[in-house]
Amino acid sequence: MNDRFKWQVKVAKEVESVLESGVLSDDDMRIIHAWTVEVMIHGPDILLKKPNVWADHELSGKWKGYRSSRYSYSGRIIYKIEKKVVTVVVVRITPDHDYK
C-alpha cells in the first residue's frame, strides 16, 4: 500500500460489475473515485466531517453494521468497515433510497 494511503478500500464483485456496466455517469464515477481517495487517505471518519457532501450515516434493519454515503441525489455507496479495510459492498442508484 502507498505510504499516502492509510486505509484500503476493497470493492465487492457485485460493485465491480456495476462500475464496469456503464450504468453510472462519468460524473458519478468521478465522485465515487473522490470518495474512495478520501477514505484511503483520511479513513471513513472524514465522511462524517462533511455531512453536506456525503450525508454519511449508519444503516439499520438487515443492513445493520453497514454505512451509506450519498454520491448523487439518489446514488448511494453502501459499505462496511473491517479493521482498517473499508469494504464497498454495494453501489446502487435508488430513487427512493430502497436498499432491498
pLDDT of residue 96: 47
HSE value, Cβ hemisphere, 13 Å, CA-based, for 41: 9
Predicted confidence (pLDDT) per residue in 55-69, tens digit: 999 999 988 999 999
Contact 97, 23 (CB under 8 A): no
pLDDT higher than threshold 50 for residue 37? yes
The SS3 assignment for 90 reads: strand
Model pTM?
Answer: 0.84
Ordered by where they begin, the domains of the chain are 8-93 (3.30.2310.20)
Give bridge partners of residue 91 from the DSSP assignment: 77
Predicted confidence (pLDDT) per residue in 40-96, tens digit: 999 999 999 999 999 999 999 988 999 999 998 888 899 999 888 888 765 554 444
